[in-house]
C-alpha cells in the first residue's frame, strides 16, 4: 500500500450536508472512507469502459421447465467459456432456478455475454455486477 496523503476539498455547504446525510444512511463513520469508495467505484467504471481485464458476476433467474431456455443459456455460456471462472446453480423451488456466473476477461466480452443471456426469452431476471481484478488500486 502506498503512503497516505491528505488533501483539502472545497464544496458548497448544502452539497456537503447532503453528502453527510448520505454517509449516515450508508453507515460510514467518516468522510474519507466514503470518498475513497467513490473514487474506487469511478476507477472500476473506467476499467470497464476501456475494455480492460476485469471480473464481474452475472445472475439469472429462470424457470427450468422452459427447456429451450435452458439449452440456450448453456450454449451461450459455452460460447464464452474462456470468460467464465465458475457458475453455480441453485434450485430455488419446484420451478425457479438461480444461477450465478463468475466472469473474468475483457469487459466488452463480459458485457456481450450478459446481454446475450439477458435477451434469452423467458429469463425472469438478469443481474450484473461490475468488479475489478484489483491490480491498480
Positions in the binding site for Ni ion (CB under 5 A): 64, 91, 97
H/E element, 116: helix 107-118
Which residues sit opposite 53 in a β-bridge? Answer: 106
Residue-level length of the chain: 137
Give the Cα separation of 90 and 71 in Å (integer): 17
Please identify, using beta-carbon distances, which residue of 14 and 93 lies nearer to Ni ion: 93
Would you tell me how many other CB atoms lie within 10 Å of the CB of residue 69? 19
Q: How far is the CB of 41 from Ni ion (least distance, A)?
A: 33
Q: How far is the CB of 70 from Ni ion (least distance, A)?
A: 9
Give the Cα separation of 108 and 95 in Å (integer): 32
Q: How far is the CB of 24 from Ni ion (least distance, A)?
A: 41
And the C-alpha cell for 71? 439449452
Please identify, using beta-carbon distances, which residue of 21 and 91 lies nearer to Ni ion: 91
Q: How far is the CB of 74 from Ni ion (least distance, A)?
A: 12
Phi-psi region for residue 46, left (φ > 0), alpha (ψ -120 to 50) or beta? alpha
Chain residue whose CB lies nearest Ni ion:
97
Please identify, using beta-carbon distances, which residue of 69 and 97 lies nearer to Ni ion: 97
Please identify, using beta-carbon distances, which residue of 91 and 133 lies nearer to Ni ion: 91
Amino acid at each position: 500500500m502506498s503512503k497516505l496523503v491528505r488533501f483539502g476539498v472545497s464544496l458548497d455547504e448544502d452539497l456537503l450536508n447532503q453528502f453527510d446525510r448520505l454517509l449516515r444512511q450508508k453507515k460510514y463513520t467518516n468522510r474519507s472512507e466514503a470518498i475513497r469508495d467513490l473514487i474506487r467505484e469511478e476507477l472500476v467504471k473506467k476499467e470497464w469502459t476501456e475494455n480492460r481485464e476485469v471480473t464481474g458476476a452475472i445472475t439469472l433467474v429462470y424457470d427450468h421447465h422452459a427447456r429451450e431456455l435452458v439449452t440456450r443459456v448453456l450454449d451461450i455460456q459455452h460460447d464464452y467459456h474462456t470468460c467464465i471462472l465458475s457458475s453455480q446453480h441453485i434450485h430455488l423451488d419446484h420451478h425457479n432456478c438461480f444461477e450465478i456466473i463468475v466472469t473474468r476477461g475483457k469487459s466488452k466480452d463480459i458485457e456481450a455475454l450478459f446481454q446475450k443471456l439477458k435477451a434469452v426469452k423467458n429469463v425472469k431476471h438478469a443481474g450484473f455486477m461490475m468488479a475489478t481484478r484489483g491490480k491498480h488500486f
